[in-house]
Amino acid sequence: MPELPDIALYIEHLERRVLGKVLERVRLMSPFVLRSVQPPVDTVEGKRVLGLLRLGKRIVFALEDELFLILHLMIAGRLHWKERGAKGRGKSALAALDFEDGTLLLTESSTRKRASIHVVRGEEALRAHDPGGIEVLETDLEAFRAALGRERHTLKRALTDPRLFSGIGNAYSDEILHRARLSPLQRTDQLEEDEIARLHEATRAVLEEWITRLREETGEEFPEKVTAFRKGMTVHGRYKEPCPVCGAPVQRIVHAENESNYCARCQTGGKVLKDRALSRLLKGDWPRSIDELE
């Protein structure tokens, strides 16, 4: 799923292309992508783009007449900037936004169509789409501590809870926890003060570094290589590969559609965390430490 650094990059490039331009037409290749009824989607046609906003992991086009078009890419949704009037091909094409200088295509490479478009009018209606998480790049330690303590979660769950923290998902939470040297299963109510400070610093540093890195890698071209698995990540998507800090093999915990990647030596004092599926299979043979794996 595109997360804060990816969404920030999308918005930067969209601002260069559509800010101040008229949204001429909205073409829906899949009727199911539109999740709102009032106001009708054609209400935004002919309206000028006044601004682009990030609302969690959503991209918001602020238009004239207090209209907002909200794109939520979910897991497999992606954006593509094409020549004006370009037609989406295949089942992956969901919608197209036509501007005077080009067309923004929304695609989704998944049979489970989760990406969505909403059209709303007014700031109050827009706020209804805001999960409420704090913006960590604009937040001091005190506010970060307060958000972290709102609910009793594991750190992995807390960081990816959009009601607590805005824009952080599965990939960057792994990177943040590795930088902070904290276990993904550590409870939020069991953190020492220095651990909270370390986590706050790591969260800001990782997100800022990746925004800068993606900006440099993309250059002037519209971002087309948006993925959760990027070269240069320390643990995410690197199961069994050596940790770049200590060399121990990266471990993982799989739950439903998500997985947590971590380094046992750097983050859990050498303890290998139990993966439900594998621990049921291996039972007593489940390794208790990273040394047993090596």
Give per-residue pLDDT as tens, 15-73. 999 999 999 999 999 989 999 999 999 999 999 999 999 999 999 999 999 999 999 99
Residue 256 has pLDDT above 90, yes or no: no
Q: How many angstroms separate the CA atoms of 154 and 177, rounded?
A: 11
Domain edge (last residue) among 127, 160, 194? 127
Q: Quick check: 49 and 20 in contact, CB under 8 A?
A: yes
Domain edge (last residue) among 127, 148, 167? 127
* Beta carbons within 10 angstroms of residue 252's beta carbon: 19
CA distances from 147 to 56, 162, 166, 191 (A): 15, 11, 11, 13
Q: How many folded domains does the chain comprise?
A: 2
Q: How many angstroms separate the CA atoms of 262 and 243, rounded?
A: 9
For residues 121 and 144, state if they share a domain: no
Task: Show the domain range for 141.
Answer: 136-293
For the ranges 38-52, 122-136, 227-241, 247-261, which has the lowest average pLDDT? 247-261
The pLDDT of residue 275 is: 67
Q: How many angstroms separate the CA atoms of 21 and 19, rounded?
A: 5
Beta bridge partner(s), residue 252: 261
The pLDDT of residue 227 is: 87
For residues 142 and 215, state if they share a domain: yes
Rounded to the nearest 10°, the torsion over CA 89, 95, 98, 104 is: -80
For residues 121 and 145, state if they share a domain: no
Domain edge (last residue) among 103, 127, 151? 127
For residues 115 and 141, state if they share a domain: no
